[in-house]
Amino acid sequence: MTRKDLLGLRGMPRAEIEEILSTAASMREVGRRRIKKVPTLRGRLVVTLFFENSTRTRTSFELAAKRLSADTLSFAVSTSSTAKGESLMDTARNIHAMSPDAIIIRHGCTGAPHLLARSFPFSVLNAGDGINEHPSQALLDMLTMRDHWGSLEGRTVAIVGDVQHSRVARSNIHGLATMGARVLVAGPGTMCRRELSGLPVERRHTVDEVVAEADAVMMLRIQRERLGQAVLPSAREYAAFYGLDLARLRRARPEVLVMHPGPINRGVEIGADVADGERSVILDQVTNGIAVRMALLFLLLGGREGGDDAG
């Protein structure tokens, strides 16, 4: 891979996605060792810069960097000068002065990683920007599906919920379409707007329709702050019409995969018995997350510089 940054899956060629997924599959082996560490990125500095709260994505990236022996620095935004009104570019200039090799950024504004990527020489990995993309999440989702199916070609994936404002959905849609899968979406009208026709998806009116056709059903997290606003009336209304409970799951194919990017609102978008049930691969997603992020750091930082092999 020759790219400097991972900004999104929109426009990423199929061969590159396959390279990332294959590399990730081989990285999983490191996590099964007694000593879960390889020296590939020894002496390299990886900075996490999270402007929004996140526990699992951040720890997953940090663990991935540590398993590759990189030094990690976690830039705590809430206690930093950003809280005092410093601009993103000024924050980045300060971090740049510490000579990082990569910055992993999560930011509330679409395009924030793109701005850093074209302004600085270090690699930028997008860990979620605005309502745009969350590419490492989509890659781990695709790795999880590939583990079960061998190939994504010709498969049907349903994404249910707030597709409009979900960066997980948007990255999955771009990536899955590139890999030859068909993506169905369903959700409330305010969250699955007609403008989604700009994406390679088929919009359906009911969750039952997409569940019946899908090889995998991806339930998106409902943000509780949207409840009771003019976007969504209530949690119980959402659960009744858009949640995945056992009754709705019975309409699905017997071998369907149930996925969720977490954290889960049990009883809202997904029933507890479904989340913990035999079709759920939610915890596999977490395990694969570390492997995918190791692969990304390896390919962006180490793969081309003749460093030690991951094995």
Partner 1 sequence: MRAEVRVFGSEATRPTAVVLSPQVAARAVWVPAFVDLVCDPGFPGFPARETPASLADAATAGGFCELLACPHVDPVVDTPEHLSRTEPLRPPVRLLAAAALTVGLRGVELTEVGLLRQAGARALSDGRVPVADSLVLRNALEYAREFRLPVLLRPADAALDAVGVIHDSPLAARLGLRGNPAATEEIGVARAIALCRATGATVHLTHLGTARAVEQVVAAQREGLPLTASTPARNLVLDELALDDGRYDARLRLHPPLRGRADRAALVDAVRAGVLWVCADHQPRAPEEKDHEFERAVPGSAGLRSAFAACLHATRDLGATVRALSEGPRSLLGLPVGGWALVDPEAPWVPVPARGQAPDALEGHELRGVVLDLAAG
> What's the CA dihedral at 245, 248, 254, 260 to 10 degrees?
-50
- Min dist. Cβ of residue 174 to partner 1 (A): 9
Q: 197: which 2 tokens?
A: 């026709």
Looking only at residues 104 through 163 of this chain, which bind partner 1 when binding is defined by CB under 8 A?
107, 109-112, 114-115, 118, 129-133
Residue 87 touching partner 1 (CB under 8 A): yes
- Min dist. Cβ of residue 32 to partner 1 (A): 36
**H or E segment at 156?**
strand 156-160
Q: 230: which 2 tokens?
A: 């003019």
* Closer residue to partner 1 in complex, CB, 62/129: 129
Q: In the stretch 2-21, what mask flags binding to partner 1 with x, by CB under 8 A?
A: ------x-xx----------
Contact, 64 vs 90, CB < 8 A?
Answer: no
Residue 81 touching partner 1 (CB under 8 A): no
Q: Count of residues binding partner 1 (CB under 8 A)?
A: 28
Beta strands in 187-247 (DSSP E): 202-203, 216-219
How crowded is residue 180: how many other Cβ atoms within 10 Å of its Cβ?
12
Residue 262 touching partner 1 (CB under 8 A): no
Taking the alpha carbons of 137, 139, 140, 141 in that order, is the dihedral positive or negative?
A: positive
Angstrom distance (rounded) from CA 175 to CA 6: 13
* Closer residue to partner 1 in complex, CB, 66/114: 114
Looking only at residues 172 through 191 of this chain, which bind partner 1 when binding is defined by CB under 8 A?
none
> What's the CA dihedral at 45, 65, 123, 109 to 10 degrees?
-110
Looking only at residues 190 through 209 of this chain, which bind partner 1 when binding is defined by CB under 8 A?
193, 195-199
Query: Applying CB under 8 A, which part among 54-62, 74-82, 87-95, 263-271 lies near partner 1?
Result: 87-95
Contact residues for partner 1, defined by CB under 8 A: 8, 10-11, 87-89, 107, 109-112, 114-115, 118, 129-133, 164, 167, 170, 193, 195-199
